[in-house]
Amino acid sequence: MSAPLPAIAFLGIGLMGKPMATRLLQAGYRLTAWNRTPAKADALAPFGASVADNPGEAVAQADIVITMLEAGPVVAQVIDAALSALRPGTLVIDMSSTRQSEAQQMHARLAARSVAFIDAPVSGGVMGAEAGSLAIMAGGSPADFARAEPILQVMGRAILVGPAGCGQVAKLCNQLIVGGTLSIVAEALLLAQAGGADPAAVRAAIRGGFAESRILDVHGQRMLERNFLPGGQVKSQTKDLENVLIAASAAGVHLPVAELVTDIYRSIADAVPNADQSAALLALERLNPGKRLGKDADKLP
């Protein structure tokens, strides 16, 4: 007779958290949801979730606690609210994108209360969360990862990349590649049009060569359609890139391309914070007055 599945508390039912929690419910896990905006957690009730009024209530009977929140300070605030209710032996899996130092501090703080911790940020956006195909980069001990792995596999492909905090380093590497590639794809498409070529045809022509990428495929099409309704968001990409620079400084390395890409996102972070990260195109067009990709109206949140 197989052992019962662990009980899960899921804290943060936002753009990513909702589809991730939904997949866990569909896989048969008992799940208690909490969100600062209660209606977002209530939306999981039809899928079988229990809904808690506060973080402490959510984690009180949980074997595994998953956080999917906006940033490190928010994670710390929510864990603070739940700390007294966390039972020794509970495993906290923070799937938010935070700084490495914040993950390490959380690990030390929970370890002092005999609570295990893994940082396991994700990449793949809302589509990946819905499909259960997220790339999950985990930092923690091999034993804690082995305990978390069956749950993480419901949401995507998980790989242990090092001790606590290293999941966040891997996520920053991912976001640097994503942000840089988005900016280059925007430049390529705008150059194609400004040079008299059909940018959609140029995109089709270079796919399959060494320039092929998922970003050229998915976000290149978004740029051509000027569809900036959010999958990822400008504010999240900007935060992640700023954390890249912080991590680089702490590691003693200079990343000039990361600095340029961060400035690109900063230039639109106040104007379109909730737009999809493919809005890097809008930042580029600001630098090139009179140049615009396509004729469609912008689709913005």
Domain shared by 248 and 127, yes or no = no
Phi then psi for 9, rounded to 5 degrees? Answer: -105, 130
What's the confidence (pLDDT) of residue 1? 56
Q: Does residue 154 sit in the same domain as residue 188?
A: no
CATH number at residue 180: 1.10.1040.10
Residue 294 lies in a domain: no
% pLDDT > 70, the chain = 99
CATH number at residue 87: 3.40.50.720
Q: Are residues 56 and 29 part of one domain?
A: yes
Residue 154's pLDDT is: 97
| Residue 147 sits in the same domain as residue 199 | no
Q: Catalytic residue numbers? A: 171
* Alpha-carbon span 34 to 52, nearest angstrom: 5
Please give the pLDDT value at position 4: 87
Mean pLDDT of 240-248: 92
Domain termination site, one of 136, 163, 190: 163
Indicate the number of domains in the chain: 2
C-beta atoms surrounding 4 within 10 Å? 9
Compute the distance between CA of residue 294 and CA of residue 60 in angstroms, rounded to an integer.
53
The residue count of the chain comes to: 301
Rounded Cα–Cα distance for residues 83 and 61 (Å): 13
14 & 156 share domain? yes
Region 274-282 average pLDDT: 96
Mean pLDDT, the chain, integer: 95
**Single-letter residue type at 209:** G
Q: Which amino acid is at 131?
A: A
User: Are residues 226 and 196 part of one domain?
Assistant: yes
Is residue 1 one of the residues assigned to a domain? no
Buried b / exposed e across 239-252, counting CB within 10 Å, b at 16+? bbbbbbbebbeeee
Q: Is residue 298 part of a domain?
A: no
**For residues 280 and 264, is the Cβ–Cβ distance under 8 A?**
yes
| pTM of the complete model | 0.84
Same structural domain for residues 116 and 220? no
Q: What is the pLDDT of residues 68-86, one digit of tens each?
A: 998 899 999 999 999 999 9
| 17 inside domain | yes
Same domain flag for 250 and 148: no
Domain that holds residue 47: 8-163
Shared domain for 97 and 177, answered yes or no, is: no
Judge whether residue 52 has pLDDT over 80.
Answer: yes
pLDDT tens-digit readout, 33-44? 999 999 999 999
Q: What is the mean pLDDT of residues 188-210?
A: 96
As beta bridge partners, residue 64 has 8, 91
DSSP annotation string for the chain = -PPPPPPEEEE--STTHHHHHHHHHHTT--EEEE-SSHHHHHTTGGGT-EE-SSHHHHHTT-SEEEE--SSHHHHHHHHHHHGGGPPTT-EEEE-S---HHHHHHHHHHHHTTT-EEEE--EESHHHHHHHT-EEEEEES-HHHHHHHHHHHHHHEEEEEEESTTHHHHHHHHHHHHHHHHHHHHHHHHHHHHHTTS-HHHHHHHHTTSTT--HHHHHHHHHHHHTB---SS-HHHHHHHHHHHHHHHHHHT---HHHHHHHHHHHHHHTTSTTS-GGGHHHHHHHTSTT--SSSSPPB--
d(CA 195, CA 159): 43
Does residue 2 sit within a domain? no
Phi-psi region of 77 (alpha: psi -120 to 50; beta: other; left: phi over 0): alpha
Q: Residue 139: what pLDDT?
A: 98
pLDDT for res 293: 97
Local confidence band at 126 (pLDDT 50, 70, 90 cut-offs): confident
Instruction: Quickly state the pLDDT bin for 2 (edges 50, 70, 90).
Output: low
For the residues 219-240, what does the mean pLDDT come to? Answer: 93
Claim to verify: residue 145 and residue 79 sit in the same structural domain: yes
Residues 150 and 177 in one domain: no
